[in-house]
Amino acid sequence: MIFLLGLSLFWLMVAIPSSSNGDQDVKSVLSAHNASLATNNPLPIGPAEFDVRFFFTPRPQLVDRKQIFDFVTNMLAAEALKDFNGLLPGKTISFFDPRYPHVTIVANSLVYSPGMPRSHLFWGMARIMDHMTKTSLFIASNFALLWEGRPAGGLSITLHTPDQEDKHTGTTLLLRPPGRQQNATAASDALDFTTFEHKFHGSLLSVEDVCMGAIGALVQAAQLPYRTAEYAFVGGFVPYHAVQSWSSFGGEPVLDREMVVKGVYESTRYAIAHDDFHELNVRILEMGLVFAEGGYIRYPPLLSGLDGRVNTSTS
């Protein structure tokens, strides 16, 4: 059934607020890590004209926090290599990850539109996950997307048991799970020769910091040109402390969007799989040769002798 954008008697529509620190630019971390940006990073939540409302049910179904983070980062990684300014391939698109068969994310466009703008999928999921994180409400729900206050489509996170019939119509996009031997991601079908080397180090972050930083970086990486003359990428999601930083190996200007997307998703997948959210360094190898290096780091760094989030106020 096409997602209903109006209020019903059984749902309460609530606004998802923008991040209060959303105007901060992740470029502020560059000098600390000797990196440069391939482009001016846009805000993960999208422009001011874009907004999201969610429909809250009195009997919410809880979603596993780490599973939904893994699902969403895998989905955004898969879409990040496509045209950010293009349309999804159908009025109703169901995203399905075989690792989590009880979860489906559905994107519905308006009746008169051939498909949801892909940019709306990115901005919508960034706002939804930011809202869930800040409210600690990881629940299945329906979300209305608005442009300049008018309906622009809908997203929904649904839960079902394996024996329940999938009632969603339209096109189903199967997210390919990581390969067991080569850690391939869903970002491309041409990742069979990609391998990774991982090393935890440094400070411990929260799962929210790591995953929200990755979501922000994927929204930003999706807007990169496919190939850039810059050799480094830095992305994140203020105010979350995990910042994704990637550079081509050896400083050669060969870093492209696919390499960044591979790295961002792989670093997040690896942290979730190992339930370890220390800072992480990752090398990306193609047929045994190192092409890029990076991972996520904590910014601002922990002050000596302190644990947890840093108090950055001055007095």
The pLDDT of 183-208, averaged and rounded, is: 74
- Lowest average pLDDT, out of 102-116, 181-195, 215-229, goes to 181-195
Contact between residue 202 and residue 297 where contact means Cβ atoms under 8 Å apart: yes
pTM for the whole structure: 0.82
- Lowest average pLDDT, out of 3-7, 88-92, 171-175, goes to 3-7
**pLDDT, tens only, 108-154:** 999 888 999 999 999 999 999 999 999 999 999 999 999 999 999 99
Residue 70 above 60 pLDDT?
A: yes
* pLDDT attached to residue 160: 83
Strands (E), 33-170: 50-56, 92-96, 103-108, 141-147, 150-159
For residue 175, give both structure tokens.
């997210």
274/91 Cα distance (integer angstroms): 37
**pLDDT, tens only, 13-64:** 445 554 434 334 444 444 444 443 334 568 899 999 999 998 877 788 999 9
Amino acid at 251: G
Residue 259 above 70 pLDDT?
A: yes
* pLDDT attached to residue 168: 56
The pLDDT of 274-284, averaged and rounded, is: 96
CA proximity to 219, closest of 293, 118, 87? 118
- Lowest average pLDDT, out of 56-65, 76-85, 159-168, 243-252, goes to 159-168
Higher pLDDT, 274 or 181: 274
66/268 Cα distance (integer angstroms): 10
Residue 211 above 80 pLDDT?
A: yes
* pLDDT attached to residue 174: 82
Starting at the edge strand that comes first in sequence, how are the strands of the sheet with 150-159 ordered?
Answer: 12-15, 50-56, 141-147, 150-159, 103-108, 92-96, 171-174
Q: What is the mean pLDDT of the chain?
A: 79
Residue 225 above 50 pLDDT?
A: yes
Cα 76 vs. chain centroid, distance in angstroms? Answer: 5
